[in-house]
Amino acid sequence: MSDVTRMSRRQFMKTSALAAGGLMLACHLPLGRRDAAAAGEGEFAPNAFLRIGTDGSVTIIVNKSEMGQGVYTSLPMLVAEELCCDWKRVTFQASPVAPEYNHTQFGPIMVTGGSTSVRSEWNRLSLAGAAAREMLVAAAAQEWKVETAVCRAENSFVHGPGGRKLDFGSLASKAATLPVPKEPKLKSGRKSLLGTPAKRLDSPAKINGTATFGIDVQAPGMLTAVIARPPVFGGKVKSFDAAKAKAVPGVRDVVAVDAGVAVVADGFWPARKGRELLEIVWDEGEGAQISTPAMREEFARLAATPGVVARKDGDAPGELARAARRFEVDYEVPYLAHATMEPLNCFVDLRSDGCLIRTGSQFQTVDRAAAARAAGLQPEQIIFETTFLGGGFGRRACPASDFVIEAVQVAKAIGKPVKVIRTREDDMRAGFYRPQWHDRVAACLDKKGYPLAWHHRIVGQSIMAGTPFESMIKNGIDDTSVEGAADTPYAIPNLQVELHSPKNLVPVLWWRSVGHSHTAFVMESFLDELAHAAGKDPYQYRRTLLAKHPRHLMVLETAARKAGWGKPLPKGRGRGIAVHESFGSFIAQVAEVSLDSKSQVRVHRVVCAVDCGRVVNPDTIKAQMESGITFGLSAALYGAITLKNGRVEQGNFDDYPLVTMEAMPKVEVYIVPSNEAPGGVGEPGVPPTAPAVANALFAASGARVRSLPLTPDKIRNAKKKG
Amino acid sequence: MIVFHVNGKEQRVDVTPDTPLLWVLRETLGLTGSKFGCGEGLCGACTVHIDGRAQRSCITQVGDVQGKKVVTIEGIPENHPVKTAWLAQEASQCGYCQPGQIMSAVALLAQKPRPTDTDIDSAMSGNLCRCGTYGRIRRAIHAASGKASPKGGKRS
């Protein structure tokens, strides 16, 4: 790997292409001119995204991190559709970090997030494919001395007059000498690949064990480190004694870093054994005061006071004051860990004049910049390679770059290549959670039983505050705190949404579906309560209030129809429905649940209807809905990170359980045909699940539980209250 | 020196006997297909076969596999019906848990060539998947049902 360390990935790619004599629409600038390249290159130039070898192989370079959502297939499909190549000849490669791979909408950073991969790259990658196709067609036309207009590309061949044809591989070298078209034209007419369930290109590597995740990175001379971290947030090392740790065979070094004390060893096991023998005196600071019960009380107090107004239609407080009957309730959700199956880790090979980092990141530019600061290098001196990610869910897009910085610091301290691995307990206790939220909602109904006023106070930490993205907080409102509530589509004439953003030391972060993960639970549960209070069917109630929102209506009606809404169920079972828009997609879900003898919710079936606009790969969309529902179920049924004396009380999957095969319901996904602009699919499946399940729980048992997770004790209490 | 067989090949490793088998496979032998997820036998990402039984290699000390036969994901043939079914069902998402899932499924089918849903629940519920691929895994196991070789892959 040291050769690669010394050679920029760009140069490396150029060299390989020249060696292969192939066409590469990329990487023609020397090292050191990357920034210049970014400034000079137009947004629509087909450049850095594909290579075609003389053997006809098509390598598509993907600038998004693969963490399960299938971008190593869906993004190549966008290119291949326009390139008109044989899908069987397509392979993928993770892109390096360079300006040409920056997000098309999120500013000058390479990032995978916000369920934007397909949406944000659709145009750019289609044009990249079209440009290459035009060059191949032009190369064939020159070869045959005919007009390009009489040639066409199909299935990795260019066809010309008189039945002539040449394959892409034989045209690659010539095409490489032609000018890149400035305004390539997209294909007209029917798509051949888009909309088909093309097989995932990454599946074979993932089922035979060869897919390289960050934790799998090996390098000659590499050491492995684990870090002893403070027991509370904000804690610092006061002093430590490493004598016993260093006596463990295989332990090579013990070094202090900002994150704690790192034990560096020949492998994970001696490092972990050594860590257990460290004697550390911590300065715990005020972090030791944090406790979940106290925080819940603080949030409840705040919810009783006016916050910053995020939405104000009409006069909700006034209408509520005049109402004969008002409904006022509190909803709560806890901190949640991302709990990616692959614990966080990072490999660093730091040299005096350069650095190689290999890790599973969703936030490459930010992580590389942080690594550069920690290493004392320029970002361009760092080669940052993205491995497969064993789950991301937002955790690997951390503005603090915590897992990267600590690895660079260890590498710097020991002067050798090192991989820092977090144990599951490290991963779960070292922070960055979905914020804990408290929502107080009050409503009154009009004469027909529909909401006349809705007054909603949201209390919880801002994700953006204290990060480089703080400037996105406008007038005291972090949109990620109120999204899904302040922009509700329901026809409510008097609507007021307010926000409190208390600060504390617990690190928070976007967690798959971000603010929607709590607002959908509150909006869709409380609306369900109002429907029942009005004596109306919750499905029809929503239809009435969404009459002007055809996409919501369509998914709602589809899910209800497919689920058999209104049809009899076995005794003890109930159905619940929820609909929510997020990340440009519209999703409705109907859950069917019962309670077992221990008052544990048993989810039998979830029916999901999704309108995510134009479709790239329908099977990927279904998989992402199945995935979002499972993720949402773990949160609805089990998930909670709690603190006592500043210590996170959970550490592993025994006290932070996930849905298992046995608990997994039958899931049915229906894609609503749509010609709308593409929406996201990675996150939007999550938000409707918890409210659909909670509403089904009410239908099944009469227990209205307004706090997640839906644990047996809460259910028993709610039943007692009736 | 601890001597055991991995995927049909004798291995001699010089590590302390309390080292979990998982780390010997991953770091000493370079077989990184078996994954670290929890370190406590709670997630199944590290599942391998020891003398034909699915075991959690993260809580199995290498000293305890002296003389035994270990099969990892790397030892399951590419054309094994379980792998084929996994591909056909597109079971993988992030893929991290899948080697462990596959090892559990291969062991299940070796024991019960035509498992019921209840059998699948009981054999597979120790293998967590954060991406939520359970439905597809269940379908893949049913699809591979009756096709798996009685020995469940190369064991030697």
A148-200: per-residue pLDDT in tens? 999 999 999 999 999 999 999 999 989 988 899 999 999 988 899 999 999 99
A residues 524..583 contacting B (CB < 8 A): none
Is there a single domain that holds both residue A374 and residue A464?
A: no
A residues 14..53 contacting B (CB < 8 A): none
* Domain count within chain A: 3
Is there a single domain that holds both residue B62 and residue B21?
A: yes
- Residue A276: helix, strand or coil by DSSP? helix
Is there a single domain that holds both residue A496 and residue A371?
A: no
**Res B149: pLDDT:** 57
Is there a single domain that holds both residue A541 and residue A506?
A: yes
B17/chain A closest Cα distance in angstroms:
11
A489/chain B closest Cα distance in angstroms:
29
Taking CA–CA distances from B121, the nearest residue in chain A reads: A662
DSSP class of residue A262 equals E
Distance of CA A232 to the CA centre of its chain: 27
**Res A15: pLDDT:** 32
- Which residues are CB-contacts of A166 (< 8 A; sequence separation ≥ 6)? A140, A143, A157, A158, A160
Is there a single domain that holds both residue A466 and residue A540?
A: yes
**CATH number of the CATH domain containing B133:** 1.10.150.120
pLDDT digits (tens, 9 = 90+) for A462-471: 999 999 999 9
Say if A426 falls within a structural domain.
Answer: no
Among A367, A392, A421, the domain boundary falls at A421
Inspect the interface and report whether the beta carbons of B132 and A626 lie closer than 8 Å: yes
B residues 70..99 contacting A (CB < 8 A): 72-74, 76, 78, 83, 86-87, 90-99
- Which residues are CB-contacts of A670 (< 8 A; sequence separation ≥ 6)? A558, A559, A562, A607, A608, A609, A610
| Tokens 């819940």 belong to residue | A296
Is there a single domain that holds both residue A500 and residue A606?
A: yes
Is there a single domain that holds both residue B12 and residue B56?
A: yes
Q: Tell me if chain A has a CB within 8 Å of the CB of B27.
A: yes
Is there a single domain that holds both residue B69 and residue B131?
A: no
Is there a single domain that holds both residue A503 and residue A608?
A: yes
Say if B102 falls within a structural domain.
Answer: yes
Inspect the interface and report whether the beta carbons of A209 and B27 lie closer than 8 Å: no
Is there a single domain that holds both residue B124 and residue B96?
A: yes
Whether the CB-CB separation of A640 and A611 falls below 8 Å is answered with no
**CATH number of the CATH domain containing A297:** 3.30.365.10
pLDDT digits (tens, 9 = 90+) for A103-154: 999 989 999 999 999 999 999 999 999 999 999 999 999 999 999 999 999 9
Of A522, A458, A527, A517, the residue nearest A491 (C-alpha) = A527
Say if A716 falls within a structural domain.
Answer: yes
B76/chain A closest Cα distance in angstroms:
8
Cβ–Cβ contacts within 10 Å for residue A258, how many?
12
Say if B156 falls within a structural domain.
Answer: no
Q: Is A659 exposed, middle or buried (0-12, 13-18, 19+ CB in 10 A)?
A: buried
Q: What angle do CA B48, B53, B56 make, to 5 degrees?
A: 40
Say if B150 falls within a structural domain.
Answer: no
Percent of chain A with pLDDT over 70: 93
B97/chain A closest Cα distance in angstroms:
7
Query: Which is it for strands B53-56 and A157-159: parallel, antiparallel or unpaired?
Result: unpaired
Counting as low any pLDDT under 50, the low residues of chain B are 150-156
> Which of A339, A390, A666 is nearest residue B94 as measured by Cβ atoms?
A390
Q: Tell me if chain B has a CB within 8 Å of the CB of A653.
A: yes
Is there a single domain that holds both residue B101 and residue B47?
A: no
Inspect the interface and report whether the beta carbons of B83 and A421 lie closer than 8 Å: no
Among A165, A194, A223, the domain boundary falls at A194
> Which of A390, A631, A666 is nearest residue B96 as measured by Cβ atoms?
A390
Is there a single domain that holds both residue A296 and residue A273?
A: no
A197/chain B closest Cα distance in angstroms:
10
pLDDT digits (tens, 9 = 90+) for A9-66: 333 333 333 333 344 433 322 222 233 223 223 221 235 999 999 899 999 999 999 9
B residues 56..75 contacting A (CB < 8 A): 72-74
Exposure of A575 in the CB half-sphere (CA atoms within 13 A): 22
Q: Tell me if chain B has a CB within 8 Å of the CB of A271.
A: no
Average pLDDT (A351-364) is: 97
**Res A3: pLDDT:** 35
Say if A52 falls within a structural domain.
Answer: yes
Say if A199 falls within a structural domain.
Answer: no
Say if B98 falls within a structural domain.
Answer: yes
Is there a single domain that holds both residue B71 and residue B134?
A: no
Inspect the interface and report whether the beta carbons of B73 and A208 lie closer than 8 Å: yes
Inspect the interface and report whether the beta carbons of A423 and B16 lie closer than 8 Å: no
> Which of B38, B92, B134 is nearest residue A652 as measured by Cβ atoms?
B38
**Res A721: pLDDT:** 81
Q: What tokens appear for A448 in the block?
A: 């027909």
The answer to whether residue A427 scores a pLDDT higher than 90 is yes
B8/chain A closest Cα distance in angstroms:
17
The answer to whether residue A546 scores a pLDDT higher than 90 is yes
Say if A175 falls within a structural domain.
Answer: yes
**CATH number of the CATH domain containing B10:** 3.10.20.30
* Domain count within chain B: 2
Cβ–Cβ contacts within 10 Å for residue A179, how many?
7
Among B55, B75, B95, the domain boundary falls at B75
Say if A427 falls within a structural domain.
Answer: no
- Residue B69: helix, strand or coil by DSSP? strand
Is there a single domain that holds both residue B132 and residue B106?
A: yes
pLDDT digits (tens, 9 = 90+) for A242-281: 999 999 999 999 999 999 999 999 999 999 999 999 999 9
A210/chain B closest Cα distance in angstroms:
6
**Res A38: pLDDT:** 31
Distance of CA A216 to the CA centre of its chain: 22
User: Mean pLDDT over all residues of chain A?
Assistant: 93
Q: Tell me if chain A has a CB within 8 Å of the CB of B49.
A: no
Domain hosting residue A221, numbered range: 214-285+344-421
Q: What tokens appear for A605 in the block?
A: 């079936």
Domain hosting residue B7, numbered range: 2-75
Is there a single domain that holds both residue B88 and residue B105?
A: yes
pLDDT digits (tens, 9 = 90+) for A6-16: 333 333 333 33
Say if B43 falls within a structural domain.
Answer: yes
Rounded CA-CA distance A95/B39 in Å is 32
Is there a single domain that holds both residue B13 and residue B71?
A: yes
Inspect the interface and report whether the beta carbons of A202 and B92 lie closer than 8 Å: yes
- How long is chain B? 156
Is there a single domain that holds both residue A456 and residue A398?
A: no
Best of A341, A344, A620, A654 to disrupt the B interface (most B CBs within 10 Å) is A341
Rounded CA-CA distance B110/B129 in Å is 22
Is there a single domain that holds both residue B69 and residue B87?
A: no
Is there a single domain that holds both residue A280 and residue A178?
A: no
Say if B54 falls within a structural domain.
Answer: yes
pLDDT digits (tens, 9 = 90+) for A69-96: 999 999 999 999 999 999 999 999 999 9
Best of B7, B56, B94 to disrupt the A interface (most A CBs within 10 Å) is B94
Helices (H) and strands (E) in chain B, counts: 5, 5
Inspect the interface and report whether the beta carbons of B33 and A210 lie closer than 8 Å: yes
Is there a single domain that holds both residue A456 and residue A400?
A: no
Say if B104 falls within a structural domain.
Answer: yes
Rounded CA-CA distance A477/A487 in Å is 13
Average pLDDT (A664-687) is: 98
**Res A228: pLDDT:** 98
Among A366, A390, A421, the domain boundary falls at A421
Cβ–Cβ contacts within 10 Å for residue A161, how many?
10
Say if A206 falls within a structural domain.
Answer: no
Inspect the interface and report whether the beta carbons of B86 and A203 lie closer than 8 Å: yes
Among B75, B105, B135, the domain boundary falls at B75
Inspect the interface and report whether the beta carbons of A67 and B94 lie closer than 8 Å: yes
Rounded CA-CA distance A204/B88 in Å is 11
Whether the CB-CB separation of A492 and A451 falls below 8 Å is answered with yes
Is there a single domain that holds both residue A300 and residue A281?
A: no
Residue-wise burial string across A326-345, b where 16 or more C-beta atoms lie within 10 A, e elsewhere: ebeebbbbbbbbbbbbbbbb
Inspect the interface and report whether the beta carbons of B130 and A631 lie closer than 8 Å: yes
Among B41, B56, B75, the domain boundary falls at B75
Is there a single domain that holds both residue B111 and residue B134?
A: yes
Is there a single domain that holds both residue A634 and residue A677?
A: yes
B131/chain A closest Cα distance in angstroms:
5
Inspect the interface and report whether the beta carbons of B98 and A268 lie closer than 8 Å: no
The answer to whether residue A524 scores a pLDDT higher than 70 is yes
Which residues of chain B are within 8 Å of residue A219 when distances are taken between CB atoms?
Answer: none
